[in-house]
Structure 1
Amino acid sequence: MKVYLNLKFHKLLILPILFVFSIVAFNNQTENIVTAKEATIPTEGFPSTPAPIWAIIWMNSGFSKPPKEVISATIDNTNYSNNIIPISNSFIKSSLTLPSASGNYTWYKKIDDGAWKVSDSGYVSALSVNSNRKFNTSLNLLDFKNLHSKKIITVKYQLAYILGVFSKDRYYSRIITVHILPTNVNAKSITIETDNDYLYNNKNNDLGTNVTYARATTDPEFATAQPEWSVSDESKATIDSNGEITAKPTGSSANDSNQISSFFVYAKIKNADGTIVTASKLMNVGEGLYDQKARAGERATFVLQGFDNSTRDSFKTDVKWYKKKGKNGKPSSPLPKQDDPFRYTTEPLTKDDDGDYYYATIKMTYGNNDTQSLTTNDALLTVNPALNPNVKLTNQVENVSSKSDQDTPLILNDIVNNDLIDYKFQLNNDGERDLNNTTLSTYLSLGTEIVGVNVDGTDLTDSQYSTTAHINNRNQLLQINIGSLKINDKRNIIVHTLTHDIDRNFAFAATPFFIGTDDDQNDYQSIGSKFKLNYLNNELIPHIKTINFEPIYPFDVNVDKYRLNSTNSPNEIITFEDHRKKKNPLKVYLNEPDNLIDTHNNSLAAIFKFKNDTSPYPQPIKDKVLVAQSAQDQTLQPIRWDKDKGLLLHVTKSNIIAGEYHTKLSWSIQDSV
């Protein structure tokens, strides 16, 4: 008999008779909006200047898209410190279109249908090439407290930036709209967009931006909670509260693999009702090139990242490609130019090309023959053996210990600890060449023990196969030395395994492969069929809620008290994760081993009783009482009780001391076979 025992604290509140009055104070503060000289700005605002376009460098100057163009909030909004909503936008300066210059900025503000007025203004010093400046202002929600009733107040902001002493170049941001709502609006979903998906982290190059901006769009648009930003790996990039993403330069941390990597941007919104919605977006960071893999006889293509087709011809560029034999090899002369200078495609590959590196240099010329340059990372070329369709690899898996009705030759289900799993392979050389030094390889789950390997009826020694564990990936690579495989040869291989260390439910999939070399030292590879194993932890895990009861008053005597709604049907008191492979009948028992006591160890004059549909009278649970059961092959179902059924609290005496009482209830689950 198996017994699952779970002790759970449950609480009960005893209240004295009190009358509680809520006293509400009203603030008679009047709305105070600073009046300023009316700005000469159209009713709908200035037409916004086109946003900067990025292609390794910023192609034109202008305001980036604001972190959030539409902001919704309520008075006393807990998402904003001191009820202050920060309003910001960044101006990005391009060296291609604008000389270094100082300038003046002005924030304009418009409330509902009123006129635009100057909200904030000032003078700024010159910007350096390819840099940006963030302009900030703010809105105090409490300024609108007395104007706010059941209507929506709309406040709009626009930023104007006038540069230069003589040229007077004018730039206008997009309009930022703030809706002040009477009640909170919950977000149902959230999506993330970014200006760029690829960031450069070159430490010593003129070109390549390392900054971009993330924005969140909610459904509905008027959701009042604001996103919290984060990234999956701060050694790759950081993100601030406004969604500005900055790549970490290569070598800026202990993780020098920054050169080519990815990370996720996360946005999380916590609604006023406590619900949470999240979103993520994959970002890439590097120095311009990705490593490439191809098979012998195929071509590989390297592509410069971060170039938009529509902007490549906007300035003069000179791109040169180079090749090196090995990481520290001597660079070749510039490779022959191809039609598209931003990508390079190799000739058909041989295994001699394996391990070569490619890189590119980019020089941009603009203005008065000013130039900027960038050198990419070294990108590795890996050449895998050519596929040989005449060498066939077939495979299947079998659970020797037990079988599931849903099992197939390539899919096994409900694998538990101590199951014996056989992996079966067959190799057929139907080609016209003998193969030497052949190896059969496959990945296995990390908790798989190799009991033995058999080839054509002969057991191999430990030296004829090997395993390499990959802890982080929870797998291990099994490699079996098959030896030679002559023309028309066949090999039958069986790998006997024992299953260990299953502590959770998970699925594992892998595809076996075979490699051999012919007499001319050409490598060939054959791929088997993908197999999948579904593992089961074979456990029953209960999740028990804390049970709270109605308050008891001093004059209560010989009365039943009921549970609060959170533990009444349709809500569950207990749910079960039933991952048992063999679902024998189970019985669930409940009893009260200890009395209800308060923090001073005073006992409560009350007992727990259990009432079901089959008995007219509640039954005390000092001795264990059957409260639920399951049948053969049935999953144990959640336990729900109507308000007047199940666990009740019977008060036996009056004049109870006020306080909070608690006890542990004992839940036990037993096999009934």
Structure 2
Amino acid sequence: MKWRKKFLIGLLFSLGLIFSSLTINKKDLKDTSGEMITKIIPDNLIVEADVTPYRTPTSDPVILLFIWLTSGYNLQPENQYTYINNPKTLYTDSGRSVLDALLSLIATPHYIWYQSTDGQTWTQMTQTTKELTVTPTKVGTVYYQQMTRWYGLLPGLLDTTVYSKVAFITTFPSPIKATDLTVKADSKYLYNNQSSAMTTYVTGIPTPVDATGELKWKIDDTSLATVDTNTGLVTANTSGKSGTVRVTGTMTNSDGTSVSDYVDIRIGGGLDDQTVDEGKPATFEVQGKFDQPPTNVVWHKVDKSNKDTVVTNNNSNKLIYTIPNTSYSTDDGTKYYAVLTITSGDSTTTVTTNKANLTVKKNVVPNVTVDNTIFNNSHNDHNDSNTIINGVSKNDQVSYKINLNDSNVNSAMTKADLKLELPVSSNISEVKVNGQSYSDYNSVSASDKQTLTIKNLNFTGIKTFTLEVNLTIDDNSKSSFASKAIVTGYDASGNTISNYSAGNDLTMNFADNNISIKAQNWNYGSINSYQNKVLLNREKIVGNHLEVSDNRREKKALKLYLIQSEPFKSGENVLPSEMRYYQKNGNYNVLGDAGTLVSETIDGQSLDPIMWNDDEGPRLFIADGHYVAGNYSTNLEWSLVESI
């Protein structure tokens, strides 16, 4: 029994060491330069570990497309998670700058790996290969760093040496299964038209981040690009073939299950062909990822005769060029390309994009405008814009004039019909097109209007038409009539393109050349028999005391009189009274047979309706005398006198 207790205590103590070791090794690792040792740090591992690299890692290289401007690692060794006796491989890739390569053209890279079990003390490993494969036999974390050296003509002189970042391999007692995978690409655009192949790397981030499965890569179209199944290095073709490839990463767990994700990468020459509608802007934008912005970008235009011209770029972004208002005749079929210059230190290089085509789709949509006016040739009374005529009477000669224009020279509208609504009482005397009598029209009458259709206006060679419609006006019961021109366009096959309701509203205001008046009744209320010498006001009414409709075409001067020809009576009884007409100034005239002047106009002026205030106009004065109760009334006459 004592032996069993000791065994259990020892077992628990060993497990405690294992869990302690695992906790320590899942720390957020940083190098002395402050950069993360790994690109993948899970959110729940935030405790920092004190790791000192064997040598300070070399800065990431500056690479323009495929041209190395500085030396360094473009593929750093990635942190790996595994379990006992399951091998893992650290992959790297490095390169020299153009200048370093020129100093020793035939040099080949040599590799040395260093390892540390505590992140402080480092030992050189015996492996001298580019990749490092290890098969852990115990739980824990081991750190690794690689040195790459290109020996010059004289060893030690003009050598190029770079150091990778530190990566670790953490070993667990048993596998950890991946449940998801997220795939990303360093660049989603690769050039296919340069002298050397352009590359990028894809990476996969599993969930959980410390999953121990194996990640492999494949690509769907190897004619566009290839991918290294282990490292995720994507290499574009150099034959100018363009398209989009899908790179898929799959992490396979130890139990045979797997998770996958993908990323799409475009392959091209830097610029995409553009197709726009005529009149719309066309924009070319240099694609791809640059480690630093180009110092100079020159844009070129190649016209349809193959003439190459440098064009001025007014865009604030040098990598974007815009043609603001494209024209089919001048821009369709042209090509554009850009020449990029990038300088880094003493190194300068240029990259020329592909020539991208500009296709401008001819704008065949009709651009129809209608300018219409109306005239009364018998009576000159119209507004300034000639869209309203007034005082239209029987037998007047009225003309509609319509200017119809399709400003698009490439318009698909080869024929058009024009419809115009006219008063049903009008008689069409003539239709003219461009000054000539035109007979291809018809008119259909309805209860309150007739619709004139002028047919088959041929827009093949002529884009502008002047139409004239002459009418004779008959009797009309309406006070006004409004209309607008409607154009229906057809293409060469007779298909309707569109209807265009355009132009001004044209209005006729009719007149009967008469003036009419209509008086309202009013009263003075009840009068008591004992009321004497009192002045009574009219009771209020709704509207005007005298309604006036002055439709005279020639408005001569008028005088309006009010006449009282008999007294107020109730049967045979006469009311002792007088009707006084008060002016605004308080003076009055007594109404009688001679009439009292109420209103007066001058030539050309319309007579307005009459409306009095309470203390103005006819007021009833009750005089002294005897009168009996009753309903008293009288008739007042209105008289119009026109000047001769």
User: Given the two structures, how large is their TM-score scaled by the length of structure 2?
Assistant: 0.45
Q: Taking CA–CA contacts closer than 8 Å with sequence separation of 6 or more, which of the two structures ends up with the larger relative contact order? A: 1
User: Given the two structures, how large is their TM-score scaled by the length of structure 1?
Assistant: 0.43
Look at both structures and tell me which one has the larger radius of gyration over its CA atoms. Answer: 2
